[in-house]
């Protein structure tokens, strides 16, 4: 059996006025800095076909994501469990909820289903004989978003130059994964997998953030290349350098949550990461895969249910936030987001459930595998899954086939911080996902 690959790219911009996802502050689309894209890769071997689709969106919960996957399946005839869809996690893309009360959001979801289905079919129609290669580079631009303060507490994004910061926490995984598919008589499709937050633009205008700049930069340098980005284990990873000085602040502004953002800042990140891709592109390890497989598990993750004692304060904070009265909470910067997100989690889980069911999705091409996680995994999940024996390359992918929340490591719950306080999942969720991810990989390898 020989490998085939196909590619398609389309535009998925929302209408003006459509609500924007990404913060606990209402925003609506006021304009467009650059296009949001759907990038679709089709792979085929014999009778097996899989679709790997990347959307320039922040996140899509699994109940909406299943509609996108079913739309692609109905259009192409490819089984739903062979359709892998992830979001790049840009914070300047629209809200995507199929049963939203907002007609602009509902209308966008309807169009998105059609766009995804059309992209999937176009990628299938583009299938051509191809050779595959993989490589691993290094990109040291990312930083842990969680920092220990001098008083011993943990804060997420406490602000560049904050004198109360003592140290960063989790060690970073600076590996950048590259897959390359060279079509006969076509393009070279480059799949890029790197874990960090695309949250460097801010404001109320639509943008793919740095993943868009990265794709465009690589494609300008390599005209025959077409890039698709799959974000990695980014739950505790950001692109803000707490120790930054001097020219690092060019083209930036200090946003409402003390995070440094700016469109020019996003361009710099995209170019920086593109440079790491270019270092790998020409030196990939070509291989002849002996199989193409897809396997999807359903996992059950215990919920972080609030105690009765926590609920009165949670309701008070939630009610003030919903009334637009955050200034009365007594917090500043990212701490406002932290307490509001924690309260929202407690109110939402006041009556359960005790656990959440969600997909864990694997795609295997020979000894190269993708593992899709339906939320935002911490770095330790990515490194844990990558350590599974018997594989040449493993690409952990966040917000794949769903976006159900943060998956922090066990010790992070003891430390505290935004991600653990807002996560709907109980401590131990990360280690559970690593174990299930390894089981998934071992079954695909077998």
pLDDT tens string, the chain, 446 residues long: the values are: 799 999 999 999 999 999 999 888 899 999 999 999 999 999 999 999 999 999 999 999 999 999 999 999 999 999 999 999 999 999 999 999 999 999 999 999 999 999 999 999 999 999 999 999 999 999 999 999 999 999 999 998 898 999 999 998 877 899 999 999 999 999 999 999 999 999 999 999 999 999 999 999 999 999 999 999 999 999 999 988 888 999 999 999 999 888 899 999 999 999 999 999 999 999 999 999 999 999 999 999 999 999 999 999 999 999 999 999 999 988 888 888 899 999 999 999 999 999 999 999 999 999 999 999 999 999 999 999 999 999 999 999 999 999 999 999 999 998 988 999 999 999 999 999 999 999 999 999 96
Say how far apart CA 368 and CA 365 lie, in whole Å. Answer: 5
Predicted local confidence at residue 173, as pLDDT: 95
Say how far apart CA 241 and CA 109 lie, in whole Å. Answer: 35
Predicted local confidence at residue 446, as pLDDT: 65
Facing residues of 298 across strands? Answer: 359
366 Rama class: left (phi>0) / alpha (psi -120 to 50) / beta:
left
Same domain for 181 and 125: yes
Give the number of other CB atoms < 10 A from CB of residue 136: 15
Name which of 108, 127, 10, 28 is nearest 60 in CA terms.
108
Give domain status of residue 256, yes or no: yes
Domain holding 347, by residue range, is 306-351
SS3 of 82, please? helix
Name which of 69, 61, 71 is nearest 85 in CA terms.
69
Same domain for 263 and 211: yes
Residue tagged 């009334």 (tokens): 323
Say how far apart CA 47 and CA 60 lie, in whole Å. Answer: 30
DSSP label at 294?
E
How far lies 105's CA from each of 87, 311, 445, in Å?
Answer: 17, 31, 41
Same domain for 110 and 128: yes
Predicted local confidence at residue 334, as pLDDT: 83
Say how far apart CA 365 and CA 363 lie, in whole Å. Answer: 7
Give domain status of residue 277, yes or no: yes
Same domain for 237 and 214: yes
Say how far apart CA 96 and CA 110 lie, in whole Å. Answer: 10
- Identify the helix (H) or strand (E) that includes residue 311: helix 311-322
Same domain for 390 and 346: no
Give the number of other CB atoms < 10 A from CB of residue 439: 15
Same domain for 146 and 22: yes
DSSP label at 18?
P
Residue tagged 């656990």 (tokens): 355
Tally the domains of the chain. Answer: 2
SS3 of 350, please? coil
Give domain status of residue 300, yes or no: no
Say how far apart CA 387 and CA 370 lie, in whole Å. Answer: 13
Say how far apart CA 221 and CA 195 lie, in whole Å. Answer: 23
The backbone torsions φ and ψ at residue 198, rounded to the nearest 5 degrees and listed phi first, read: -80, 80
Q: Using CA of residue 245, residue 276, residue 57, residue 213, what is the dihedral sign? A: positive
SS3 of 123, please? helix
Same domain for 330 and 270: no
Same domain for 343 and 371: no
| Helices H / strands E in the chain, number of each | 10, 24
- H helix runs in 126-209, sequence order: none
Give domain status of residue 383, yes or no: yes
Say how far apart CA 18 and CA 25 lie, in whole Å. Answer: 14
Same domain for 249 and 222: yes
Same domain for 434 and 346: no
Same domain for 342 and 385: no
Same domain for 325 and 236: no
How far lies 372's CA from each of 231, 376, 385, in Å?
Answer: 10, 10, 11
């Amino acid at each position: 059996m020989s490998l085939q690959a196909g590619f398609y790219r389309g535009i998925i911009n929302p209408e003006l006025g459509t609500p924007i996802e990404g913060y606990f502050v209402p925003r609506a689309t006021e304009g467009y800095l650059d296009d949001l894209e759907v990038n679709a890769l089709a792979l085929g071997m014999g009778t097996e076909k899989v679709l790997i689709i990347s959307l320039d969106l922040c996140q899509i919960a699994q109940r909406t994501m299943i509609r996108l996957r079913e739309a692609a399946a109905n259009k192409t005839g490819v089984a739903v469990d062979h359709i892998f869809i992830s979001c790049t996690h840009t914070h300047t893309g629209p809200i995507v909820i199929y049963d939203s009360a907002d007609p602009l959001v509902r209308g966008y979801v309807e169009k998105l289903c059609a766009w995804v289905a059309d992209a999937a079919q176009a990628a299938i129609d583009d299938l051509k004989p191809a050779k595959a290669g993989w490589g691993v580079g290094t990109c040291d631009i990312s930083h842990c978003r969680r920092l220990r303060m001098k008083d011993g507490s943990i804060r997420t994004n406490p602000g560049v130059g904050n004198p109360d910061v003592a140290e960063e926490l989790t060690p970073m995984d600076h590996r950048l994964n590259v897959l390359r598919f060279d079509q006969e008589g076509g393009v070279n499709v480059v799949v890029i997998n790197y874990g960090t937050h695309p949250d460097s633009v801010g404001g109320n205008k639509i943008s793919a953030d740095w993943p868009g700049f990265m794709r465009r930069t690589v494609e300008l340098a390599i005209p025959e290349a077409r890039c698709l980005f799959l974000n990695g284990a980014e739950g505790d990873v950001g692109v803000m350098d707490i120790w930054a000085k001097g020219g690092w602040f060019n083209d930036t502004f200090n946003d409402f949550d003390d995070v440094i953002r700016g469109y020019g800042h996003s361009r710099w990140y995209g170019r920086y990461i593109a440079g790491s891709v270019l270092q790998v592109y020409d030196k990939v390890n070509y291989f002849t895969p002996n199989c193409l497989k897809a396997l999807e598990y359903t996992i059950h993750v215990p919920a972080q249910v609030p105690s009765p004692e926590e609920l009165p304060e949670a309701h008070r904070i939630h009610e003030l936030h919903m009334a637009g009265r955050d200034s009365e909470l007594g917090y500043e910067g990212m701490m406002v987001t932290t307490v509001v997100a924690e309260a929202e989690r407690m109110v939402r889980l006041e009556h359960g459930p005790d656990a959440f069911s969600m997909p864990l999705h694997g795609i295997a091409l020979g000894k190269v595998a993708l593992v899709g996680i339906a939320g935002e995994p911490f770095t330790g999940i990515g490194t844990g899954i990558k350590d599974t024996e018997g594989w040449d390359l493993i690409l952990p992918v966040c917000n794949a086939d769903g976006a159900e929340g943060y998956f922090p490591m066990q010790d992070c719950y003891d430390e505290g911080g935004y991600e653990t306080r807002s996560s709907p999942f109980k401590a131990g969720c990360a280690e559970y996902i690593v174990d299930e991810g390894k089981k998934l990989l071992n079954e695909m390898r077998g």
